[in-house]
Chains A and B, each alone.
Chain A
Amino acid sequence: MRVAIASGKGGTGKTTVSVNLADLLARHRPVVLADLDVEEPNSGLFVQAETVHEEAVHRMVPSWVADQCTFCGVCQEVCQFNALIETGSEVMVFRELCHSCYACSELCPVEALPMTPMKIGDLSHRRSGSLDLVQGCLDIGQEQAVPLIAHTLDYLGARFSKDTLILCDAPPGTACSMIEAVKDADFVLLVTEPTPFGLHDLKLAVETVRGLGRPCAVVINRHGLGNADVEAYCRQEGIPVAARLPHSREAAQCYARGQLIHPHVPEVAAQLEAVAGFIQRIEQEGAA
């Protein structure tokens, strides 16, 4: 089962919940934590593990073959992304603007634009006991996160069986990269905080997840801070609140040091156990 851990807003504790939950679950059973927040992958900072596999991730972009080209202009005409231009004496390709649609390459009448790989980031797979950590990391300067997220998901699908519990730390927001990480998940946990920012962004996230037809539940982080509007909203919308992680300076300090919180702050550990129980119930319902 694949559970996406997402949030409309960044900094609500999505990574905290993901890594602590994965660590807690891994004490009793195998679990995979996949960091799909490829622009800012931080899960790995909290987990010490041995490398199982590493690979560079590429996407395909055209490269120009001078000898073949007849300067017919088809390539720059079909490209919707301004990634190609004829300057009169050559065809220049701006690889970072290319969306890898293959139109220029395949429609070129003389095969002067073969597709070649361009590195966009790295995928790493590490293991610590029964916890597997799979992480995508986008190269600086690369603008498109979606192909790397898609590749990381393909890797997960090929490497692990459908019965494996996979927790995916999704990118924040509700734009294309978040959608890519969430759209095929079996269940979505939305992490929020009880503040006006938290509520505003939670509403957007709920709308998104419902639009994708995914079931979801909410985890309230820093409970006790702010106000009760998030609780009221969840009640009104009939969204289950899986747990309320208490607001605690101690927890914030653990996080700051790059430590797992549950071994140090029992109140937080108890609520994480509640999330773990919640996930296991969903898993059983799914199997039944």
Chain B
Amino acid sequence: MKEIVVISGKGGTGKTSISASFSLLGGEDVITADCDVDAADLHLLLAPDFDHAEDFYSGLLARIDPSRCDECGICAQVCRFDAVHVVDGHHHIRELDCEGCGYCARVCPQRAVQLQERKVGQWYRSRLRTGGTMVHARLDIGAENSGKLVAKVKQEAREAAREQGREWILVDGAPGIGCPVMSSLSGADAVVFVTEPTVSGFHDLRRVYDLVRRFDMATACIVNKADLNPEMTRSVHAFLQEAGIRHLADLPYDEAFTEAMVEGCTVVEKEGTPLARALEESWTRLRTLLGTERTGDHP
């Protein structure tokens, strides 16, 4: 089983459109996982059937039982997150601020604080029009711990791959360099950076690469909108070479991505276009890269 994660650091580089294209090209052989749970958009292109849905709980939430509370205020004194508020003389927990550390529950003399599991979202296992399986999720509004939901999506995707004997897991990774992206990368065999030749795109590529270096995995890159700034595209190429990142393709600044999005499909379904051909080639090269190079410690 080989796991490929597509990430970008910066948003709007075309990561999801490219992930969707790879998912389509991989067909049945690929288990697709949308780990961008904070702004999950892959389903808009792949139209999964949301066949199986489950609530996801993670972390804890403190709640004060008003019938036990004697308003002593010790909970508010120990809380480092300012989550305990007094409204009309009664102590209560503002959910949004509660970190779930349990300190208040531990010190409450009346045992009035209960810790409960916190629902943070839902995850789904779906069938795609390719016959392949997709695991995806939706983080509840304002929920924290998106890294944990990412870990759950990946775990379910691996489970599905084992059950069905599939060879590939394709992950649409989370943006940024924080907790969710670390969770998307954990245990993967290869990462594909999708970048653009803009000052911010290049800046974020280098930042996210600094993070990826800490993991042991093969690296590859697609430069999207390459003709927007040819000079910077050359700098990106030089960086890739220096860092030992395999350059998969340069894609043009092309409204076909948006047109496909409006139609709810992927660019590779418009067969024969240069964009479709470039992505098909990238997908083949990526699979070859993983077939031949030493990768992470998967059994």
Asked if B173 CB lies within 8 Å of chain A CBs, one says: no
Contacts known (A11-B12, A204-B141, A226-B261); A257 close to B229, Cβ less than 8 A: yes
> By the criterion CB–CB under 8 Å, are B262 and A174 in contact?
no
- Stretch in A23-31, A84-92, A94-102 touching the partner: A94-102
10 A-B pairs with least C-beta separation: A11-B12, A10-B11, A258-B199, A101-B101, A11-B11, A173-B38, A256-B229, A143-B179, A39-B176, A103-B103
19 contacts between A and B (CB under 8 A): A11-B10, A11-B11, A40-B10, A40-B203, A40-B207, A45-B199, A46-B199, A102-B78, A174-B39, A174-B139, A175-B38, A179-B142, A197-B41, A200-B41, A211-B141, A256-B196, A256-B197, A256-B201, A257-B199
Q: Scan B227-240; emit 1 where CB is below 8 A from any A CB, else 0.
A: 01100100000000
> By the criterion CB–CB under 8 Å, are B144 and A176 in contact?
yes
Closest to B81 in A: A101
A53 CB contacts on chain B under 8 angstroms = none
Bound CA–CA A269/B143 (angstroms)? 36
Contacts known (A144-B178, A256-B196); A197 close to B261, Cβ less than 8 A: yes
Asked if B258 CB lies within 8 Å of chain A CBs, one says: yes
Report the minimum CB–CB distance from A33 to chain B (whole Å).
15
Closest to A77 in B: B106
Instruction: Name B139-197 residues within 8 Å CB distance of A.
Output: 139, 141-147, 175-180, 182, 196-197
B203 CB contacts on chain A under 8 angstroms = 40, 42, 45
Q: Is the interface of A mostly helix, strand, loop or mixed?
A: loop
B141 CB contacts on chain A under 8 angstroms = 174, 204, 207-208, 211
Bound CA–CA A253/B198 (angstroms)? 8
A12 CB contacts on chain B under 8 angstroms = 11-12
A144 CB contacts on chain B under 8 angstroms = 178-179
> By the criterion CB–CB under 8 Å, are B261 and A195 in contact?
yes
A99 CB contacts on chain B under 8 angstroms = 99, 101
Instruction: Name B31-64 residues within 8 Å CB distance of A.
Output: 38-39, 41, 44, 59-60
Report the minimum CB–CB distance from A22 to chain B (whole Å).
16
Counting chain A CB atoms within 10 Å of each CB, the highest count among B178, B258, B261 belongs to: B178
Asked if A64 CB lies within 8 Å of chain B CBs, one says: no
> By the criterion CB–CB under 8 Å, are A101 and B229 in contact?
no
Bound CA–CA A145/B143 (angstroms)? 14
Asked if B19 CB lies within 8 Å of chain A CBs, one says: no
Asked if A141 CB lies within 8 Å of chain B CBs, one says: yes
Bound CA–CA A226/B263 (angstroms)? 10
Asked if B255 CB lies within 8 Å of chain A CBs, one says: yes
Bound CA–CA A144/B196 (angstroms)? 26
Q: Scan A193-222; emit 1 where CB is below 8 A from any B CB, else 0.
A: 001110011001001100110000000000
Report the minimum CB–CB distance from B56 to chain A (whole Å).
14
Contacts known (A102-B80, A252-B253); A40 close to B258, Cβ less than 8 A: no
Asked if B73 CB lies within 8 Å of chain A CBs, one says: no
> By the criterion CB–CB under 8 Å, are A256 and B182 in contact?
no
Asked if A65 CB lies within 8 Å of chain B CBs, one says: no
Closest to B103 in A: A103
B211 CB contacts on chain A under 8 angstroms = 140-141
Q: Using a CB–CB distance below 8 Å, which chain B residues touch chain A?
A: 9-13, 16, 38-39, 41, 44, 59-60, 78, 80-81, 96, 99-103, 106-107, 139, 141-147, 175-180, 182, 196-201, 203-204, 207, 210-211, 214, 225, 228-229, 232, 253, 255, 258, 261-262, 264
> By the criterion CB–CB under 8 Å, are A195 and B262 in contact?
yes
> By the criterion CB–CB under 8 Å, are A196 and B198 in contact?
no
Contacts known (A10-B39, A101-B80); A40 close to B176, Cβ less than 8 A: yes
Bound CA–CA A177/B176 (angstroms)? 11
Interface magnitude class on chain A: 35 or more
Closest to B264 in A: A196
Q: Scan A7-21; emit 1 where CB is below 8 A from any B CB, else 0.
A: 011111101000000
> By the criterion CB–CB under 8 Å, are A204 and B39 in contact?
yes
Closest to B255 in A: A225
Asked if A71 CB lies within 8 Å of chain B CBs, one says: no
Q: Scan A69-111; emit 1 where CB is below 8 A from any B CB, else 0.
A: 0000000001011000000000000000001111100110000
> By the criterion CB–CB under 8 Å, are B178 and A177 in contact?
yes
* Given A12-B12, A40-B203, A201-B41, 16 other A-B residues pairs in contact with their CB atoms under 8 A: A11-B10, A40-B207, A100-B80, A101-B103, A140-B210, A142-B178, A174-B141, A176-B144, A176-B145, A196-B44, A200-B41, A201-B39, A208-B142, A226-B258, A252-B253, A256-B232
Closest to A81 in B: B101
Bound CA–CA A46/B200 (angstroms)? 9
Bound CA–CA A211/B102 (angstroms)? 25
Report the minimum CB–CB distance from B39 to chain A (whole Å).
5
Contacts known (A42-B203, A80-B60, A226-B262); A9 close to B106, Cβ less than 8 A: no
Report the minimum CB–CB distance from A77 to chain B (whole Å).
9
Which residue of B106, B175, B258 contacts A103 across the interface (Cβ within 8 Å)?
B106
A136 CB contacts on chain B under 8 angstroms = none
Report the minimum CB–CB distance from B297 to chain A (whole Å).
21
> By the criterion CB–CB under 8 Å, are B96 and A183 in contact?
yes
> By the criterion CB–CB under 8 Å, are A172 and B11 in contact?
yes
Bound CA–CA A257/B229 (angstroms)? 7
Asked if A227 CB lies within 8 Å of chain B CBs, one says: yes
> By the criterion CB–CB under 8 Å, are A196 and B80 in contact?
no
> By the criterion CB–CB under 8 Å, are A9 and B176 in contact?
no
> By the criterion CB–CB under 8 Å, are B229 and A253 in contact?
yes
Closest to B177 in A: A39
